[in-house]
Amino acid sequence: MASEITYAEVKFKDASPAAQVKVPPKTKKCEHHPQKYPAWLPWLISLLLFLVCLALAIALLAASFCPSGDQPTALQQTFMEWRCMSALPQSKGLGWKCCPRDWKLFQESCYYLSSDKLSWAESEQNCTGMGAHLVVINSKAEQNFLSKELQKYRKGENYYIGLKAQELEGWHWVDQTPFNETAAFWRIGEPSHTYGEDCVVIHRLSEAPNNWNNVGCWNRHRICEAAAVTV
């Protein structure tokens, strides 16, 4: 005889309900959006880079024009525009000689030929105010150079140089260079001994190199001289 199987439902007193597994919610994928920049930003960056390069170039030029530790001369402080010429043969690192714009370069000096007229004393004061002095002529080559430049300039007849008579002491250059009679370039019959003719000019219309006159010290043109700047 087959045995009967009996089923019973049993509940345990302390049993907890079936554990529920919590599934974390699906995370939403972050979408990557490229960052947008204003259209003018590249132009601004380019402009800033250009300004930085320009400032560096100016700083380098200033450093070469005025070497470290040297104070700029009065001539350099007075003028902003300069013209430079290659010095041959070039010395180490210093291969250019520079003068203010519209000045003339010869050897180691710069020369200014005036278009206006002043007395001799005012002329020297004007030259000094620019960091120069009335020209002191030291050689025949320099005398010929100035005479040739005056022929090109063709303004006025008489140009003061830095030579003047002092009572009982003869002729004196403004920079205290000793006056050398053998290196003077007087016209025939000059210097005259007329009273009051204590100042000296180059007479533009006279044949070079002997074209110096002594004259009265009233208003005339002038030639200023300053040392060229070497860079």
Among 5-9, 74-78, 194-198, the minimum mean pLDDT is found in: 5-9
**Three-state DSSP state, 119:** coil
Higher pLDDT, 94 or 159: 159
Read off the pLDDT of residues 112-145 as tens digits, 9 standing for 90 and up: 999 999 999 999 999 999 999 999 999 999 999 9
Q: Which of 35-44, 55-64, 157-166, 192-201 has the lowest mean pLDDT?
A: 55-64
Q: Which domains are delineated in the chain?
A: 112-225 (3.10.100.10)
3-state SS, residue 58: helix
Q: Phi and psi dihedrals of 54, rounded to 5?
A: -65, -40
- Three-class DSSP labels, 139-157: CHHHHHHHHHHHHHHCCCC
Task: Name, in order, each residue with C-beta under 8 angstroms of 194's C-beta and a sequence gap of 6 or more.
Answer: 214
Please tell me the least confidently modeled range out of 33-37, 103-107, 193-197, 212-216: 33-37
Q: Which two tokens stand for residue 188?
A: 């025939």
CA–CA separation, 90 and 77 (whole Å)? 26
Q: What is the pLDDT of residues 19-64, one digit of tens each?
A: 454 545 555 555 555 556 677 777 788 888 888 878 776 655 554 4
Locate tokens 């074209």: which residue? 211
